[in-house]
Amino acid sequence: MQHDLNHLTEQEQIRREKLEKLKAAGIPAYPERYELTHSLKDARELPDGFEPVSVSGRITAIRRMGKLSFITLQDLQGKLQLCMKVDDVGAEKYQHYVDFVDIGDFFGAKGHMFTTKMGEKTLQVKEYVFLGKCLRPLPEKFHGVQDIEIKYRQRYLDLIMTEETRKRFLLRTAIVREMRTFLENENFLEVETASLQPNPSGALARPFKTHHNALDSDFYLRIAPETYLKRLIVGGFHHVFEFARCYRNEGVSPNHLQEFTMVEGYSAYWNYVDNMNLMKRMFQHIFQKTLGTLKLNIEGTEVDFGGDWQTVSFRDLILKDSGLDIAAFKTAKELLAAIKAKHIALDEEAPEKLGRGNLIDILYKKVSRPKLAGPTFLTEHPIDLSPLARASDRDSSLTDRFQLVANGVEIVNAYSELVDPIEQMKRLEEQAKLNAEGDQDAMVKDEDYVLSMEYGMPPISGWGIGIDRLVQLVSNSENIKDCVLFPLTRKADHHQ
C-alpha cells in the first residue's frame, strides 16, 4: 500500500487537507465511540415521529441544496436517508459538514423519523457527530468494484460497493448459524481439534507441509479433522462436530479452494443410512430458515429439496454415463485402457500414476457428476476409493458410503466408518504404497490413529460438508472465491 505523499491523487490530497482542518477546528477525526439506539435497517421500520433515534454508518451519497442536505448512510444490513437542515443543527455545525465531510466518511446522527413525499423513510437530523475520515475516494458508484483482483484482495471495498456481496456473506453466516443450531438440538457437541498434525490423514489429498522450530519436526496443515474426531468417539463422545479450517495443496478452479471450511460430524452406534436421514432433515431445516423455501433456484433450474431425493450406486451411475462397468476392471491399468478405448479425456495430467480408486473418482467427476441435478444420494463407492470407510457386509469390494450431490456439486461426503484396526492398518499400508509410487493424493500411514482404534471403537458413521461450496451452490456464485471473505491470492509486490 502506497503512502508516499508525492504520489497521492488530487482527491487524496484534498481529503488529507480536510483531515488537518478537522483537527484544527477541534473536531475529533477518529472519536472513541458513539451511542446507537437502532441499526439502519431497524430505523427504517420505525413509525413517523419516533424519537430519539441515533444511527451511524458510512456515507455513500450526498445531495446538498443550499441550507438543506440529504445524506445516505449504509451499514452491512441496510441504508437510511438523513435530512439535515441548517436551522436544526446550527450554522456552524452545518458549515463544518459542508467543509469537511466526504462520501466514504463515517457519520453519526440523532433525530426523529419521518417519511418524505416520495415515500422514503428518513431521519430528520437534530444532532450529528463526525465518526471517521475516509482518506481515499470510494470506487465510482456506477461501476462499483469490477476488477476481480480488487474484489478478492480488498474485499472491504467489494462489501462497501456491492449489495449482492453483502447479502451473500450474510447468507453464509446464517447458514453456519442454522447448521450449528440444528446439530446442537440433535445433541451433537461442538469440539475443536488440531490443525497442525504429524500425519496428513482423513482424506485423499495433497497436504501443505511446514516445520515446527521449537520441536524441530515437520508437521502438516490438516486436510480433514476426521481421524481426531474419531479419536474422541474412542474417548467416549457420542455425537461430535467441528467447523474446521482445512488445507489441501492442490490446483485452483472455480469450485476448489486450497484453504476452506469443512464441518464434520460423527455419531457412535449409527450407520450411513442414519446420516442420510440426518442430512436430509438438516438441509431442509437450513434452507427453510435461511431462504424461506425448499425450492432453490440454482443456475436457472428449480431444485426441490423438499421432494424425494434419489439414491443411485456409483457403479450404476458410471455404467449409465460411460458404458464402463467399473466392477469388471480389477486394476487401475485395466480401467485406464478401457477409458482410453472409449475416448474419454480425463481432467488429469498423469492418470497412469493414479491408483484404481482415484482413477474411478476422476472418471466419475468427468462423465457423471456434472449431470446430477439433484438432490442425489450416490452410494456404494469402491473400497479403494474409501480407505477409512467400512466395507459393505453384502459386497466387501464396496463401502457403506454416500455422497450428496446437487447441480453437479458434492455437498456431503459420508460413510459408515471402518472401526477394525487390523483392516485399517492393511488399507493404510496399501495407500502408503500408492503414495510411494507417485500418487500424491494417497494417504500415508497414520500409526497413532490405528493405536487409538486398538483401544476399541463402537460402530460409527460420519459426514463432512464444505461450507464454501454449499454457499456457492445456494447463492449461484460462479467462483467459490466469491463465497470466502478473504480468499488466498498470489502475493503482490504492491497494490492501490
When pLDDT is cut at 50, 70 and 90, the band that residue 434 belongs to is confident
Q: What mean pLDDT is predicted for residues 160-164?
A: 93
Q: Show Cβ contacts of residue 487 under 8 Å, excluding neighbours closer than 6 positions.
A: 152, 257, 259, 481
307 or 83: which leads in pLDDT = 83
Cell numbers linked to 289: 430458515
Going from N- to C-terminal start, the domains of the chain cover: 5-138, 161-309+374-483
Helical pair 467-475 and 163-185, crossing angle rounded to 10 deg: 130
* Strand ranges for 425-477 from DSSP E: 460-466
Looking at the domain that runs over 5-138, which CATH code has it been given?
Answer: 2.40.50.140
Cell numbers linked to 121: 423513510
Residue-wise pLDDT for 96-149, tens only, equals 999 999 999 999 999 999 999 999 999 999 999 999 999 999 987 656 677 888
Instruction: Report the pLDDT value the prediction gives residue 142, as an integer from 0 to 100.
Output: 56
Residue-wise pLDDT for 165-174, tens only, equals 999 999 999 9
Query: Which of 233, 76, 155, 221 has its CA nearest to residue 485?
Result: 155
373 burial via Cβ count (<10 Å: 0-12, 13-18, 19+) = middle
CA dihedral over 476, 405, 277, 462, signed as positive or negative: negative
Instruction: Report the pLDDT value the prediction gives residue 338, as an integer from 0 to 100.
Output: 93
Residue-wise pLDDT for 318-347, tens only, equals 999 999 999 899 899 999 999 999 989 888
Instruction: Report the pLDDT value the prediction gives residue 101, as an integer from 0 to 100.
Output: 96
Q: How far apart are CA 364 and CA 15, in angstroms?
A: 57
Q: Are 286 and 181 in contact (CB under 8 A)?
A: no
Q: How far apart are CA 273 and CA 377, in angstroms?
A: 10
Peptide linkage before 375 cis (omega within 30 of 0): yes
Mean pLDDT, the chain, integer: 92
Query: Which of 474, 488, 466, 478 has its CA nearest to residue 170?
Result: 474
Whole-number CA gyration radius for the chain? 28
Q: Are 335 and 359 in contact (CB under 8 A)?
A: yes
Cell numbers linked to 426: 492393511
Is there a common fold for 5-138 and 161-309+374-483?
no
Q: Are 428 and 434 in contact (CB under 8 A)?
A: no
pLDDT above 70 (res 382): yes
Instruction: Report the pLDDT value the prediction gives residue 446, as an integer from 0 to 100.
Output: 83
Q: What mean pLDDT is predicted for residues 313-322?
A: 93
At the topology level of CATH, where does 161-309+374-483 sit?
BirA Bifunctional Protein; domain 2 (3.30.930)
Q: Phi/psi at 44 (nearest 5 deg)?
A: -65, -20
Angle of CA points 176, 182, 188, to nearest 5° = 105
Residue-wise pLDDT for 467-490, tens only, equals 999 999 999 999 999 999 999 888
Query: Which of 173, 175, 476 has its CA nearest to residue 302?
Result: 476
| This prediction's pTM | 0.88
Amino acid in the structure at residue 280: K
pLDDT above 60 (res 27): yes
Lowest mean per-residue pLDDT among 28-42, 94-108, 350-364, 447-461: 350-364
Instruction: Report the pLDDT value the prediction gives residue 168, as an integer from 0 to 100.
Output: 97
Instruction: Report the pLDDT value the prediction gives residue 249, as an integer from 0 to 100.
Output: 92
Lowest mean per-residue pLDDT among 245-259, 268-282, 462-476: 245-259
* Strand ranges for 343-436 from DSSP E: 376-379, 401-406, 409-416
Instruction: Report the pLDDT value the prediction gives residue 493, as an integer from 0 to 100.
Output: 66
Q: Phi/psi at 139 (nearest 5 deg)?
A: -55, 150
pLDDT above 80 (res 438): no
Residue-wise pLDDT for 36-63, tens only, equals 999 999 999 999 999 999 999 999 999 9
Give the distance, in angstroms, between the CA of residue 289 and the centroid of all CA atoms in the same chain: 18
Instruction: Report the pLDDT value the prediction gives residue 205, as an integer from 0 to 100.
Output: 80
Instruction: Report the pLDDT value the prediction gives residue 494, as an integer from 0 to 100.
Output: 56
Residue-wise pLDDT for 186-211, tens only, equals 999 999 999 999 988 777 788 999 99
